Amino acid sequence: MKKLTIALVIILIAAVVSVSTYGTYTFLNPSSASSPSPEPSPTASQMPTSTPSPEPSTSTLTQAPSSSPIETVTQGASSSPSSPQKKTVAVVDGLGVNVTVEAPVERVITLDPGLTEIVCVLGCESKLVGRESTSTMIVRPPSIEDVPVVDYNVEAILELEPDLIISGAALDYYRDKYEQLQAAGIPVFVTDSASAEPSPFSNETVIDRSCDLVTTLSKFLGAEENATKYVNFCQHYNDLVRDRIANLTRDQMPVVMLEWAQPYMTSVISYQQSVGAINIAENQTVTYPVLSAEFVVSANPDIIIEAITSPTHNETDFIVMSDSILNRPELSDVNAVKNGKVYIYDYVVMREGVGGHEVVGFLYWAKWCHPELFADIDPAAVNSELNQLLFGRDAQGTYVYPQG
């Protein structure tokens, strides 16, 4: 009897230990049991879709859009209880170079503020180990300020041992630096060639371009899910604009001059056609021509749009630039000046496809060119919604002027 009792006790103890061990394993390894999805970041409330003008047009305005798709971007999308499995990703960049990495990469350096923003859009700011000095001017998490500034200092870049360097066309100008980085065996993805020629008309918009870039970079970063959420949000508005301008004739399109960097400097590929407008420089033979004042006066633009950089997003910067254009004596009889249709925007909201807020600038352009078609669209509300979606907070300061 005594031996039987001891045997029963041993069996009981073994059972308790077995249950306890399984419970501990399940806690440390949630994938082994049914686990809930990670707690989502805060999402924006539904965007107001009706901001009618005092006298909205009834003949051309199409049906108001439904609410945009809101999905929360998950920070650190590539993280998991165990290290993600590496895979080879090969992409041809803007220089025609095949860039190959073992993805997801963990240490990234960005050499363009718009590209820094895209990394943040993808929820991968924790992977940034170096950046260029102007990244703090963009809409981004405050943690970006703690990322070391390297700009185009090759020695500083190499010391950080990045898995990937992402740059805009500027690195193509610094060919010696680009070649040094390549010689060091570091994958370098460059978005554009510095010697790009004007491209013929296409249906591509800044939203298409930014979405393509976000999708490409997400493959390097292992953040495809976040890329899909962002693309769905932006393409909702892209489709809306395409639908509303689809039946416009050339006679119904305003003539628009984009100006940036210096008086009368413009761009042949500035996407006026994608918002139903005519580019004053459409027949120029260089990508970034500087037009003569006489040419501009003769072309008589209906709208002038000026791109500026405002580090503090202070409205005064925008007012000063607006006044300087409105007070140019040679423009006094130009339609845009006579009718007060001079608009100023910060590069933050549209960097010609290299940035995370292209949809905001795109909607402002569309509304400036066709206020009757977009009376129900409030780009400022979209900007707020996008920032809540991406960063859980509103953007502070001024990004366009006038703001109404």
Specify whether the CB–CB gap between 219 and 206 falls below 8 A. no
Residue 45: predicted pLDDT: 30
CA-to-CA distance for 351 and 262, rounded, in angstroms?
17
| Helix axis angle, 113-121 to 206-221, nearest 10° | 70
Q: Where are the alpha helices (DSSP H) in 254-341?
A: 293-299, 315-326, 335-338
**Overall pTM > 0.95:** no
Least confident of 61-65, 157-161, 245-249, 348-352: 61-65
The pLDDT-based confidence of 241 (bands split at 50, 70, 90) is very high
Each residue's pLDDT tens digit, 283-312: 998 888 999 999 999 999 999 999 999 988
The pLDDT-based confidence of 202 (bands split at 50, 70, 90) is low
Considering only the C-alpha atoms of the chain, give the largest distance between any 2 of them, rounded to a whole number of Å: 114
Residue 85: predicted pLDDT: 85
Per-residue pLDDT, averaged over 370-374, amounts to 98
The phi-psi region of residue 123 (left if phi > 0; otherwise alpha if psi is between -120 and 50; otherwise beta) is: left
Task: Count how many Cα atoms sit within 13 Å of the Cα of residue 126 in the half-sphere of its side chain.
Answer: 9
The pLDDT-based confidence of 404 (bands split at 50, 70, 90) is low
The pLDDT-based confidence of 199 (bands split at 50, 70, 90) is low
| % the chain with pLDDT above 90 | 63
CA-to-CA distance for 227 and 23, rounded, in angstroms?
36
